[in-house]
Structure 1
Amino acid sequence: MSSRRSARLSAVSSAIKEDPKPSENGSTPPKVANISKKRKVAPEITEPKTNGSPSTPKRKKASKPIPPITPTPTAIGLMSMPYSSGDIDNTTPPPINRLAVPNGTNAALVTPETHRLVASKPVDQISPSKKASVQTTGKILDEAIAHLLKADPKLKPVIEQEHCHVFSPEGLAEEIDPFRSLASGIISQQVSGAAARSIRAKFVALFNTDKSDASQHVFPTPSQVCGSTIEVLRTAGLSQRKAEYILGLAEKFHSNELTTEMLFNASYEEVLEALIKVRGLGKWSVEMFACFGLKRMDVFSTGDLGVQRGMAAFMGRDVNKLKGKGGKWKYMSEKEMEEIAEKFRPYRSLFMWLMWRVEDVDISTLQG
């Protein structure tokens, strides 16, 4: 009896060692196999939280949130690229002292189809009795700076270090084609500066197939773009939507729903209302065009993160401690921004430009 009992115990022991896997019917495996399984699983406990394991709280590994990238303030040159002399095909003419107005268009605009210049009168064409009381493109920047310094002397170091070319006599002499500027702005949306320049060059090349030298390429007119198709425009690297946006913009100019004369003479509210109807042009895009394309001096964008951040820094706040709330980044509320900027009317465009640059200047000694 004892020998048969010993044989049975020996057989059971051998079975446990040779088959540590769970049975096909899902029953619990023998104890020895269970120990082996735990040893294999153990490394998973120390794995990073990317495997979704609830055993490691996500907040322990979460990286510091970063605000979304905007063209401002660090890339102000790139943001204004479609509206600066770098985008003009011909050499900018020497400055002509013309009439200027803070609440109107001060740029010299060029009609897209006929290349006719639409601009304010030169000062030498007005009567001598009125010259002393009018603002001119040669002096309006100086007058704007004086107004801002009177409203807040703390702006002095920023103004002294950062020269605003946009509203200088040279900047106001730049001849701006509004169709080219707006189309270039659409191309630049949500892509890097290098990508925007590459796509824009390919887009322009589509309409200059007879010129092998890229330096001789000229920006297409609205009628030329209207004669193309979405499929052809996309070969330049444009997305489906951007191709549709540019074609729609061209149709607006081709049908005279948008005209250079209207953009020059209309009020800011009328310009905003007309351009916001164009697919692909949101409020921010129109604000930037009004400031850098039309050279209007009382534009103020409360939705621009660069302006928000600069204003917060200017007010002495630690912008690095500010966080996004409710899924949206806010360095300062729109209401507070408007209240602060109110005293800088009618030159809020210059104030806005300075706020993009304020973090590059040491203003700590003037805080308080």
Structure 2
Amino acid sequence: MAANRILRSATQPVKTAATLSSEQRAEEAGLRRTSVPKEKRVRPALKRKPERELQTSPKRVQITTPIKQTRHGPLEVTKGHASSTSSLDRPAEPYRTNVPLVTPKGSHLVAYSKDTADMSPSRTNLPRPRTTIGHILEEACAHLVTMEPKLKSIIKQHHCRMFSPEGLTEECDPFKSLASGIMAQQVSGAAASSIKRKFVGLFQPHPTYKEAEDDLKFPTPEQVALCSIPFLRQAGLSERKAEYIQGLAAKFANGELSAAMLVNASDEEIMEKLTAVRGLGRWSVEMFACFGLKRMDILSTGDLGVQRGMAAFMGKDVSKLKAKGGGKWKYMSEKDMLEMAEKFAPYRSVFMWYMWRVEGVDVNVVEES
């Protein structure tokens, strides 16, 4: 039997490369490479979608364009809701704007991006950021307590939301904030809110002189600059306030003022530029820098609430000081206020906020406007 098997094997033709067809050779080579049949071979993995397409929540989508270089330093230009452009590790600096600023076209500008935070100040024209928005309030409070231990109890009693991580992720529309501040001058909070809603209503597709809904879009500087004074007055504005707001709009429309300038300019530059606008005095600009831009080293010595709080914190009888009069500086002199607050730099905005709280001053109206 063994002889028969040998004989049959010898009589069968031997397969060589010469006797195999091209298809047979390919199949033979494939069988040698793998023993997996064709129908069971694993298909190659599908091409992975770009990361941007894998985002599931539209509120957290972030689309960042290349960094834009201006004479005020590099800016991170983003589109979308402010919360998507601001994470807790976004760089922060007390002497610069710490919230995203909204442009008329809907982009958001921030002073520092993660890519530019470590750049040399000679390249960015900015001080190197010393912390992040997630830690700046904590560091500010620690500095205040180190300089003045008596502040510890006040800080524990009152949470400063405006400089908290939550507060620093809120966006600011500079034109809207400044125009709203002008509307609120010398009127009650309720009256200011009513005027603002009527003002917004004038610029809707079907203009109305009645109060508009709170969620309607505020007009752009270009829209307001083209309006006549009588038209603006239909919102309940005085003629002078209508002129102030129209003039403010014109400066934003022609580029003399811009979000790009306000996000990175120094405190002194902002004061100089904005006080040159009719209707914006020093106090108005200080409140905008503090509540709007969230700058950390602002001290409004002309604010009576701050004066009263500082005087009370020093142990003075505020009621007696008020009775004596004294005009603008009835509670403390400007010189004394500056000397007292000097040690709290670069966090004098936070110190000022707590001085308001010492006397129970309601700052919500200013913050909301």
TM-score exceeds 0.5: yes
1:108–1:118: 8 Å Cα contact kept in structure 2?
A: yes
Alpha-carbon distance, 1:210 to partner: 3.4
Q: Which residue of 2 aligns with 1:270?
A: 269
Q: Quickly say closer, same or farther: Cα 1:158–1:257, change in 2 above 3 A.
A: same
Q: Partner letter of residue 358 of structure 1?
A: V
Q: Partner letter of residue 288 of structure 2?
A: F
Q: Which of the residues 99, 107, 112 maps onto 1:107?
A: 99
Q: How many residues align?
A: 268
* 2: CA distance, partners of 1:297 / 1:348: 6
Q: Which residue of 2 aligns with 1:93?
A: 83
Q: Partner letter of residue 351 of structure 1?
A: F
Q: Secondary structure at the match of 1:166?
A: helix
Q: Secondary structure at the match of 1:331?
A: coil
What's the CA shift string for 1:136-190, capped at 9, x where partnerless?
0110000000000000010111101111111111111111000000000000000
Q: Secondary structure at the match of 1:141?
A: helix
Q: Partner letter of residue 269 of structure 2?
A: E
Q: Which residue of 2 aligns with 1:236?
A: 235
* 2: CA distance, partners of 1:326 / 1:148: 29
Alpha-carbon distance, 1:120 to partner: 3.3
Alpha-carbon distance, 1:310 to partner: 0.2
Q: Which residue of 2 aligns with 1:71?
A: none
How do 1:1-368 residues align onto structure 2 when only pairs under 5 Å count? 93=83, 95-96=86-87, 97-111=89-103, 113-123=104-114, 134-210=130-206, 214-322=213-321, 323-325=323-325, 327-328=327-328, 330-360=330-360
1:98–1:120: 8 Å Cα contact kept in structure 2?
A: no
Alpha-carbon distance, 1:329 to partner: 5.2
Q: Secondary structure at the match of 1:118?
A: strand
1:123–1:136: 8 Å Cα contact kept in structure 2?
A: no
Q: Quickly say closer, same or farther: Cα 1:228–1:162, change in 2 above 3 A.
A: same
Q: Secondary structure at the match of 2:163?
A: coil
* 2: CA distance, partners of 1:203 / 1:312: 39
Q: Which residue of 1 aligns with 2:74?
A: none
Alpha-carbon distance, 1:123 to partner: 4.2
In structure 2, the gaps of 5 or more residues are 1-79, 119-128, 362-369
* 1: CA distance, partners of 2:245 / 2:83: 29
Alpha-carbon distance, 1:325 to partner: 3.4
* 2: CA distance, partners of 1:338 / 1:274: 23
Q: Quickly say closer, same or farther: Cα 1:226–1:318, change in 2 above 3 A.
A: same
Q: Secondary structure at the match of 2:101?
A: strand
1:183–1:246: 8 Å Cα contact kept in structure 2?
A: yes
Q: Secondary structure at the match of 1:207?
A: coil
* 2: CA distance, partners of 1:329 / 1:169: 34
Q: Secondary structure at the match of 1:191?
A: coil
Alpha-carbon distance, 1:196 to partner: 0.3
Alpha-carbon distance, 1:359 to partner: 2.5
Alpha-carbon distance, 1:226 to partner: 1.2
Structure with more relative contact order (C-alpha pairs < 8 Å, separation 6 or more): 1
In structure 1, the gaps of 5 or more residues are 1-89, 128-132, 362-368
Q: Partner letter of residue 161 of structure 1?
A: Q
Q: Partner letter of residue 254 of structure 1?
A: A
Normalized against structure 1, the TM-score is what?
A: 0.69
Q: Partner letter of residue 164 of structure 1?
A: C
* 2: CA distance, partners of 1:277 / 1:328: 22
* 1: CA distance, partners of 2:215 / 2:133: 31
* 2: CA distance, partners of 1:346 / 1:239: 38
2:96–2:111: 8 Å Cα contact kept in structure 1?
A: no
Alpha-carbon distance, 1:125 to partner: 7.5
* 2: CA distance, partners of 1:321 / 1:159: 27
2:147–2:343: 8 Å Cα contact kept in structure 1?
A: yes
* 2: CA distance, partners of 1:324 / 1:247: 41
Q: Partner letter of residue 167 of structure 2?
A: G
What's the CA shift string for 1:79-105, capped at 9, x where partnerless?
xxxxxxxxxxx9762651211111111
Q: Partner letter of residue 231 of structure 2?
A: V
Q: Partner letter of residue 115 of structure 1?
A: G
Q: Quickly say closer, same or farther: Cα 1:266–1:126, change in 2 above 3 A.
A: closer
Q: Partner letter of residue 83 of structure 2?
A: P
Q: Which residue of 1 aligns with 2:55?
A: none
Q: Partner letter of residue 107 of structure 1?
A: V
Q: Quickly say closer, same or farther: Cα 1:272–1:328, change in 2 above 3 A.
A: closer
Alpha-carbon distance, 1:115 to partner: 1.5
What's the CA shift string for 1:7-28, capped at 9, x where partnerless?
xxxxxxxxxxxxxxxxxxxxxx
